Structure 1
Amino acid sequence: MTPTVIPIDTPGLGDRTYLAHDGAVALVVDPQRDFDRVLAAADEAGVRITHVFETHIHNDYVTGGLALAEAVGAQYLVNADDPVAFERTPVRDGDVVPVGDHMRVRVVHTPGHTHTHLSFALSADGEPVAVFTGGSLLFGSTGRPDLLGPDHTDALVHAQWHSAQRLAQELPDTTEVFPTHGFGSFCSATQSEASASTIGDEKRSNPALTQDEEAYVAELLAGLEEFPAYYAQMGPANSAGPGAPDLSDPELADPAELRRRIDAGEWVVDLRTRSAFAAGHLAGSVNFGIDGQFITYLGWILPYDATVTLLGETPEQVAQAQRDMVRIGMDPAAMATGKPEEWADGAPLGSFPVTDFAGLAQELRENPDAERVVLDVRRPAEFDSGHIAGAVNVPVHAVLAHLESIPHQQLWVHCAGGYRASVVASILAARGHDVVAIDDSYDESAGAAGLELV
């Protein structure tokens, strides 16, 4: 028999969980904290979850592994060398774990993303069919080796190459590869457009398998960029053994309560699109649209212990944002739904203009001596690869740390596509800055608009 592998995507974090089953029993690899999605997949397949495997102590989300295993009475398999504060089934390199009558899982130590990282090679009736590689071998890439800090990076990047080589040598070319990261996650060194792969595919395309060790190491290290600040909280949370999330509705906040929270310096987050927010919003609120990389930037920019109130057009918007938040261990304190006019209860709404790069070019031509700043909120590597002449770079994730140094002139805020620009524009507008948000593609439009790029 050939096991069925069901991927469960978490696009906001760029990760995948896997449910693999033989028609009767199932194993789960790297479940997200909101494991109700895993239970739904198992129920739909009509299978019983007996084993939950963790490839590593994750840096980019809070695991649902322990809570899921407890909920269904499954074994929870974690590296015996991981210093965790909960009971688990310890496993080590070379262990073989039977799952039902047909499936066997061989534990393979694949350090590189972390020191204790494991991959799980799945065989059915004695034939290797798949390998769950977590943050080791990804589609066309590998997991980044720098998340444990600079003291570990050199050892881990070399270990990552050797781990990829080991998987390629020990598994048949037909073995399907199922990584956890690499679908937009900052845990990936680079991103691939592939949605499926095999060991044979990776041998032909993955730098860890096509380059020698030193070339791979040099290229990977040169391409590493910043990663979200909340990552620092994930390892300790996962080592402590997180419980199941609370997805019940937050308390409702009326207009007076919303104003009290804003005046107290709390974060009131509007989930609507950036265009809707710019046209009119509750004064003092900020915009992290649920239609973009909501949780990546909310978790990166806001203090991890921030008190957050969510504003959505519908309860469904708030529920999605809440689900995203609990995946990284944050819980909203309150919520409101409806329209900004209702949230403001008659008070004036905030707003700011939105334009494109052609509008910026026209402004620079027609008012060359006006006091303004073009604020580029892309990451430093993006800025260094090319930017508008005279632009000031304050990366989106660093804006709170640089609030005092941002000049009180008109700020024309842009990023690569508009989402990050709206986040920053909303934060600055809430603090009294005169902002214009540029909602446009930098690569496609900045040069075409006639702006001087350097």
Structure 2
Amino acid sequence: MSTIDVVPLVDEGLGNSAYLVDLGDGRAMVVDVSLDLRAACDAARRRGLALAFAADTHLHADFLSGARQLSATEGTRVLASAAGHREFSHSGLRDGDEVDLGGLRLRALSTPGHTHEHLSFLLLDGDRPAGVFTGGSLLVGSAARTDLAAPEQTEALTRAQYASLRRLTRLPDDVAVWPTHGAGSFCSAPPGAERVSTIGREKATNPLLQKEDEDEFVAALLGSLGSYPPYFRRLGELNRRGPALLERDPSLAALDVATVRAMLADGAQLVDARPVADFAAAHVPGALSIPLRPVFASWLGWLAPPDRPLIIVRDPGQDPAEIAWQATKIGYGNLAGELTGGIDAWRAAGHSTTSTRLVDPGEVAGAVLDIRQRAEFAAGHLPGALHVELGDLPGRAGEVPGEPLVVMCGHGERAMGAASLLEQAGHRDLAVLTGGPGDWARTTGGRVETGA
């Protein structure tokens, strides 16, 4: 592994890693940094480094790039693929192009597959390849998904991914692998704690690299792909045009009860970020439950409308800046503000609330709706459970059977989001399971089923 100071900046919620590279002369480079620049700027400030370069491996679908913002506010030089045709100032690189970083060099390697214009960046210390920023190409134990462009382009991109991975494996075995997408990313990565690797380790352990036959590789990669949030289909083009520059940190404007009621009547959507138990006890009818946690951004982008004003309800102890940043980094600039005083102010004004029952694993009775991802459901579910992924539920609420109905996921957060969507669709006798299939099996002695 490299001795160059490369600092991973992990976004646990999106499952991604950006990187800060200390160039050894008071300057730094960041790679695949999001518009939420807090971690990158804090890391650079602690080390006394100026952010001289910002490299993007591809046109990101899962977050807005922070490269243009850095260029405008810090004078940072943006490095990106010339084939991406970005509409803002940047140094467009093609295969084999090199950039002098002041002692270190960065070489662009064309590695299409995840996107058409994808580059990997080989970091060279003299003539020695120290590591490679693989973005959405070679991942730890996998490769990134190839179905984000268009259905008719997926097979060709998957075959391009096969060639790109083979190209990367021709690097020396001790070269570090620094991917952007990791466990938890909807851009496809297997579960696991490891976010960095080496070429040699991936050649020995990555299942996709064991597929010598291209057709087998294509079948294996495409067969591993799950669903992804609809906002993925918008952000690539926003990143190509250049995300709008932020004049100040995002925040939540204060909205009183009367203003919120008027906005709701005009089509706004309430997003309740409180914990599951608080939402269950009392919430505004029609509110969408998305508890604030690291994955808040992903589920906001999956479930909340991008074209209607969003109003946040939160607990006093929840950080409004975190909510605003998570929305901003995925392109949700439609946060109108927050309900001042939260649910207490709503009730104090005399307006009605509703509640949703929570049930323990031993209390499950009647129909069960499991809203987890396809692979999670296939790995183990309650006998007879109906399966509709949470992301599909807004369009399939009419397929869900009548009440009483227990909604479940792995812990309860996603299930409460599903219950709130079903309540919007008119379902009433609903309950949310506080646990998952394993909790049910341990409590009841029952056996989970596997398969689709």
Q: Structure 1's 226 and 180: CA in aligned 2 closer, same or farther, altered over 3 A?
A: same
Give the C-alpha shift of residue 20 in structure 1.
Answer: 0.3
User: Which residue of structure 1 aligns with residue 121 of structure 2?
Assistant: 120
Of 64, 67, 70, the match for 2:66: 64
**Are the counterparts in 1 of residues 19 and 32 from structure 2 also a CA contact under 8 Å?**
yes
User: Which residue of structure 1 aligns with residue 437 of structure 2?
Assistant: 442
**Are the counterparts in 1 of residues 208 and 221 from structure 2 also a CA contact under 8 Å?**
no
Give the C-alpha shift of residue 407 in structure 1.
Answer: 4.6
User: Which residue of structure 2 aligns with residue 82 of structure 1?
Assistant: 84
- Confirm or deny that 1:198 pairs with 2:202: no
**Are the counterparts in 2 of residues 121 and 130 from structure 1 also a CA contact under 8 Å?**
yes
- Confirm or deny that 1:428 pairs with 2:422: yes
- Confirm or deny that 1:388 pairs with 2:382: yes
**Are the counterparts in 1 of residues 397 and 425 from structure 2 also a CA contact under 8 Å?**
no
Of 283, 304, 307, the match for 1:305: 307
> In the TM superposition, what whole-angstrom CA distance separates every residue of 1:398-446 from its partner, at most 9, and x where no partner exists?
2211234445532211123322111011222345422111121223424
Q: Structure 1's 175 and 358: CA in aligned 2 closer, same or farther, altered over 3 A?
A: same
Q: Structure 1's 27 and 452: CA in aligned 2 closer, same or farther, altered over 3 A?
A: closer
- Sequence identity, in percent? 36
Structure 2 counterpart SS, 1:303: coil
Aligned length: 442
Of 350, 356, 363, the match for 1:359: 363
User: Which residue of structure 2 aligns with residue 370 of structure 1?
Assistant: none
Most deviating of 230-239 and 290-299: 290-299
- Confirm or deny that 1:350 pairs with 2:354: yes
Query: Structure 2 CA distance, aligned partners of 1:339 and 1:315?
Result: 11
Q: Which runs of 5+ in 1 are unaligned?
A: 365-372
User: Which residue of structure 2 aligns with residue 400 of structure 1?
Assistant: 394
Query: Structure 2 CA distance, aligned partners of 1:36 and 1:390?
Result: 46
Structure 2 counterpart SS, 1:278: helix
**Are the counterparts in 1 of residues 181 and 189 from structure 2 also a CA contact under 8 Å?**
no
Give the C-alpha shift of residue 353 in structure 1.
Answer: 1.0
Query: Structure 1 CA distance, aligned partners of 2:340 and 2:140?
Result: 40
Structure 1 counterpart SS, 2:218: helix
User: Which residue of structure 2 aligns with residue 367 of structure 1?
Assistant: none
User: Which residue of structure 1 aligns with residue 28 of structure 2?
Assistant: 26
- Confirm or deny that 1:209 pairs with 2:222: no
Structure 2 counterpart SS, 1:33: coil
Structure 1 residues 24-423: aligned runs within 5 Å: 24-100=26-102, 102-169=103-170, 171-212=171-212, 213-245=214-246, 246-291=248-293, 293-314=295-316, 316-331=318-333, 332-336=335-339, 338-345=341-348, 346-360=350-364, 363-364=365-366, 373-384=367-378, 386-423=380-417
Structure 2 counterpart SS, 1:81: helix
> In the TM superposition, what whole-angstrom CA distance separates every residue of 1:250-279 from its partner, at most 9, and x where no partner exists?
321112223333344421111111112101
Matched residue type, 2:337: A
**Are the counterparts in 2 of residues 186 and 227 from structure 1 also a CA contact under 8 Å?**
yes
Give the C-alpha shift of residue 337 in structure 1.
Answer: 5.2
**Are the counterparts in 1 of residues 179 and 195 from structure 2 also a CA contact under 8 Å?**
no
Query: Structure 2 CA distance, aligned partners of 1:407 and 1:177?
Result: 48
**Are the counterparts in 1 of residues 181 and 187 from structure 2 also a CA contact under 8 Å?**
yes
Give the C-alpha shift of residue 359 in structure 1.
Answer: 0.6
**Are the counterparts in 1 of residues 182 and 190 from structure 2 also a CA contact under 8 Å?**
yes
- TM normalised by structure 2 equals 0.91
Matched residue type, 1:220: L
> In the TM superposition, what whole-angstrom CA distance separates every residue of 1:149-196 from its partner, at most 9, and x where no partner exists?
221111111221221221121x22222111111231111253333133
Matched residue type, 2:357: P
Q: Which runs of 5+ in 2 are unaligned?
A: none
Q: Structure 1's 398 and 35: CA in aligned 2 closer, same or farther, altered over 3 A?
A: same
Give the C-alpha shift of residue 397 in structure 1.
Answer: 0.9
Most deviating of 329-338 and 88-97: 329-338
Structure 2 counterpart SS, 1:70: helix
Most deviating of 387-396 and 81-90: 387-396
- TM normalised by structure 1 equals 0.91
Matched residue type, 2:329: R
